[in-house]
Amino acid sequence: MRTALLIVLAAGALLPSCAQLYSEEQVADLRQEWESSLEALKRYQAELEAENATLRSQVEDLQVELNRERAANAREAVAALDADFEALRKRLEESMGGDGDLQYLVGPDGPVVRISEHVLFPSGSAEVSEEGRRLLTHLAGSLAENGSHFRVEGHTDDRPVRVHADRFPHGNLQLSAERAVSVAAILVEAGLPEEQISVVGYGPWRPVADNGTDEGRARNRRVEIVVVTAPERDGR
């Protein structure tokens, strides 16, 4: 019993010395070293944030300059196309003798060549006429020189398909799509790269005139070739 008591008393005497692992001076040195390291990290973080802000500003400046260059290039391209297509329009209208059958205008995605239905197709048909084939072949040469992507759009009026109705069970939407495909095929035959042409049929859903009149319906029955100068997006 006396031996056990002596062991307990000795252990109790040793506890204070074990708890004091570092001297006060050593603790102060460690605290100062830690605070110095923390300050260095804060300075490094501030430097990184400043560098990041500078890089962001440089990227924004470069993007603004790039947008300016793209806009300038697009304006130059449209100006060149304006001149080329105006000359082409006059030549083709003179040869066709039909004022308004071929129009050139500028849409949201770029220049547009608008061709009336009766120049390209018999009524209710998606097969291009000989006159239409000659026009498209002539047109393809100018298109090839002035664009990098072309979207061929078919449009109709809102009257149901009556001629060859059994040929187009899905009505005007199918008719407009097949007409666009026929036009695109001739443009490819005439030299336009197939990978640069897309095709869409809108049916009666994008009229340019009142479908309540004969004149308006005639204007709505058309094919449009869009020379895309902006990135392609859904719709126009």
Q: What domains does the chain contain, in order, with CATH numbers? A: 77-227 (3.30.1330.60)
Interior/surface letters 181-215, b for 16+ CB within 10 angstroms, e for the rest: ebbbbbbeebebeeebbebbbbbbebbeeeeeeee
pLDDT-derived band of residue 5, with 50, 70 and 90 as boundaries? very low
> What pLDDT was estimated at residue 215?
95
Name the range with the highest mean pLDDT among 4-8, 24-28, 142-146, 222-226: 222-226
Instruction: Give percent of the chain with pLDDT exceeding 90.
Output: 38
| Dihedral-angle region of residue 100 (phi above 0 means left; psi in -120 to 50 means alpha; beta otherwise) | left
Distance CA 39, CA 44 (A): 9
Name the range with the highest mean pLDDT among 33-37, 42-46, 206-210: 206-210
Average pLDDT of 34-46? Answer: 86
- Summarised one tens digit per residue, pLDDT across range 170-228 is 999 999 999 999 999 999 999 999 999 999 999 999 999 999 999 999 999 999 999 88
Locus of tokens 């130059």:
76
